[in-house]
Amino acid sequence: MTEIVLVRHGQASFGGANYDVLSPLGQRQSVTLGAHWKQIGFKAAAFHSGAMSRQKDTAKHALTEAGIVAAVHENTAFNEYDFENILPGYLPMARHEHPELLKDGGAALRDKRQFQRIFEIIIGYWLAGRAPEGKPVEPWLDFCARVSVGLQAIATPEHPRVVVFTSGGIIAVALRAAMALSDTMAMQLNWRIANASVHQFKMGRRGLSLQGFNNITHLELARDPDLVTYR
């Protein structure tokens, strides 16, 4: 049985020119996690990350601060779903079916609260298997299968504990598998996953089981409420 520790990346650059870059706060969150790991003597047999910059940089900052010298194996199985194409692909559908939410045009997409409401509607279209306009996107069930294969591949007898630096969607898929959640419930939990949070699973003969969800003890111990973010 292998313990799989999933770490969500630190805060990315919402509203910036490139979302896939840790914000200064995201860097602090990653360093705070590493400092906590150093204090408790955290160890793992292997470290993995997705191929996205925010995932790899969270790993770099955390492991450097923890004093852990180890290779981080890059694996696209742990990349986040393609929200950068999901959003424009389904936005015309949302605009047509929910004009009240987009009456201010682009301004609604720059406001975090309004953006969340619109994005939840768009993700609902994706979960339901509706076809987007424009560029094709990875279907929800294909995304789930990709994550499942990736998690199974890293759960090996010689690795009793492995760490994966990844994103909220991957953690939501793991929760879906471990707790037999509906697609909608899995994504509702996704919205509650904190940046730089830690999630523990066990992979055994019967698949995944949940051991711990949304652990942010390392951020809380820093006694800085600004460190706790969700987007």
pLDDT in tens, 208-221: 999 999 999 999 99
Q: What's the rounded Cα separation, in Å, for the pair 121 and 16?
A: 22
What average pLDDT is seen over the chain?
93
The pLDDT value recorded for residue 99 is: 84
Count of beta carbons in the 10 Å neighbourhood of residue 165: 31
168's CB contacts (< 8 A; 6+ apart) are 8, 80, 190, 193
CA distance 50 to 184: 24
**What CATH code is assigned to 2-80+139-227?**
3.40.50.1240
pLDDT of residue 111: 66
Provide the pLDDT for residue 197.
98
Binning pLDDT at 50, 70 and 90, where does residue 108 land? low
Closest CA relative to residue 181, chosen from 138, 144, 131, 215: 144
In this structure, how many other beta carbons lie within 10 angstroms of the beta carbon of residue 57? 21
Confidence of residue 13 (pLDDT cuts 50, 70, 90): confident
Name the band, by pLDDT with cuts 50, 70 and 90, for residue 106.
low
Q: What is the pTM of this model?
A: 0.93
pLDDT value for 100: 79
Q: Distance between CA 134 and CA 85 in Å, rounded?
A: 9
Domain range summary for the chain, segments of one domain joined by +: 2-80+139-227, 83-127
pLDDT, average across residues 56-68: 98
Residues in the chain: 231
CA–CA distance, 60 with 55 (Å, rounded to integer): 9
Q: Give mean pLDDT, residues 172-201.
A: 97
